[in-house]
């Protein structure tokens, strides 16, 4: 069965180009030119990924992403932001609110397809056994995690990072190593992306994110995952 991708982009020519290239790559593509009707389309089509323009005629893509993240049915769908905003502050904001990637215009359709395939390939990897440590439970097959019995509201990327850390406790990793493990060969993701997602993950895990117990910062090196005693 084909995987479905929803594209929300107000530039009709660009939307047509995206739909053409994604269809040629083997995906079923659903398109919209505005946010009106988007939640209903997403719920009905159950997409594997959403490509979302940031500046739309009837709303802001960042705000829409926040709404999706709060929805228990739709919050786990990976989101690629597509935008003309090139400043770092916009890129960081997009990642902080739950975006899995941030693609600036103009862009190469071939590169976009490669990044989509890489992201969806990670989702299709064989399920691993559930993990449990110090009150933290992770179920790779359902992509769910909980801490002390309380569900953790994680994005796909945050879940992937937590799963990797929990599978490799007490080992130090540089930002570059984490980039390779989580994002693969996506050369447009930078060490800054790692820091952004670690900060978000700490807000979910830690009682005091400024004094983390689970994810330790190793100055001049990277990060290490520890199970609090």
The total domain count for the chain is 2
Is the predicted pLDDT of residue 8 greater than 70, yes or no? yes
In which domain, by residue range, is 108 found? 4-123
Query: Using one digit for the tens of pLDDT, what is the confidence trace for 105-160?
Result: 888 999 999 989 988 887 665 556 889 988 999 998 778 899 999 999 888 888 88
What's the CATH code of the domain at 136? 1.10.10.10
Mean pLDDT of 171-183: 88
Report the pLDDT value the prediction gives residue 63, as an integer from 0 to 100. Answer: 94
Tell whether 67 and 36 lie within a shared domain.
yes
**Of 74, 91, 123, the domain-final residue:** 123
Tell whether 10 and 93 lie within a shared domain.
yes
Is the predicted pLDDT of residue 1 greater than 80, yes or no? no
Tell whether 112 and 149 lie within a shared domain.
no
Report the pLDDT value the prediction gives residue 34, as an integer from 0 to 100. Answer: 95
Ramachandran class of 194: left when φ > 0, alpha when ψ lies in -120 to 50, beta otherwise: alpha
Tell whether 119 and 135 lie within a shared domain.
no
8 Cβ neighbours under 8 A, 6+ residues apart = 31, 32, 33, 34, 35, 38, 50, 51, 52, 53, 56, 61, 64
Vertex 182: Cα angle to 175 and 143 (nearest 5)? 135
* Integer CA distances (angstroms), 214 to 35, 134, 177, 178, in order: 38, 10, 19, 16
Are the C-beta atoms of residues 134 and 228 closer than 8 Å to each other? yes
Average pLDDT, the chain: 89
Number of alpha carbons in the 13 Å side-chain half-sphere of residue 166: 24
Lowest mean pLDDT across 88-97, 144-153, 220-229: 88-97
pTM over 0.95: no
What's the CATH code of the domain at 55? 3.40.50.2300
Dist. CA 67–CA 76, nearest whole Å:
12
Tell whether 149 and 175 lie within a shared domain.
yes
**Of 69, 102, 123, the domain-final residue:** 123
Report the pLDDT value the prediction gives residue 185, as an integer from 0 to 100. Answer: 67
Tell whether 8 and 119 lie within a shared domain.
yes
Buried b (16+ CB within 10 A) or exposed e, 110-130: eebbebbeebeebeeeeeeee
Tell whether 8 and 113 lie within a shared domain.
yes
Query: Using one digit for the tens of pLDDT, what is the confidence trace for 22-58?
Result: 999 999 999 999 999 999 999 999 899 999 999 999 9
């Amino acid at each position: 069965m084909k995987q479905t991708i929803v594209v929300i982009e107000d530039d009709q020519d660009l939307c047509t180009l995206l739909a053409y290239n994604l269809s040629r790559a083997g995906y079923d593509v659903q398109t919209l030119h505005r946010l009106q009707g988007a939640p209903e389309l997403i719920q009905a089509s159950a997409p594997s990924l959403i490509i979302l323009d940031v500046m739309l005629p009837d709303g802001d893509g960042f705000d829409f992403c926040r709404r999706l993240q709060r929805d228990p049915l739709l919050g786990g769908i990976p989101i690629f932001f597509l935008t003309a905003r090139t400043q770092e502050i916009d890129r960081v904001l997009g990642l902080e609110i739950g975006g899995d990637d941030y693609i600036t215009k103009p862009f190469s359709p071939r590169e976009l397809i490669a990044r989509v395939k890489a992201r969806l390939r990670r989702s299709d990897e064989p399920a691993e056994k559930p993990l449990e440590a110090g009150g933290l439970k992770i179920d790779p097959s359902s992509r769910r995690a909980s801490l002390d019995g309380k569900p953790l509201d994680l994005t796909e990327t945050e879940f992937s990072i937590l799963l990797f850390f929990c599978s490799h406790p007490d080992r130090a990793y540089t930002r570059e190593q984490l980039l390779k493990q989580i994002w693969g060969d996506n050369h447009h993701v930078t060490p800054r992306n790692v820091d952004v997602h670690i900060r978000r993950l700490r807000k979910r895990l830690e009682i005091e994110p400024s004094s983390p117990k689970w994810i330790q910062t190793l100055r001049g090196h990277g990060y290490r995952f520890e199970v609090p005693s």
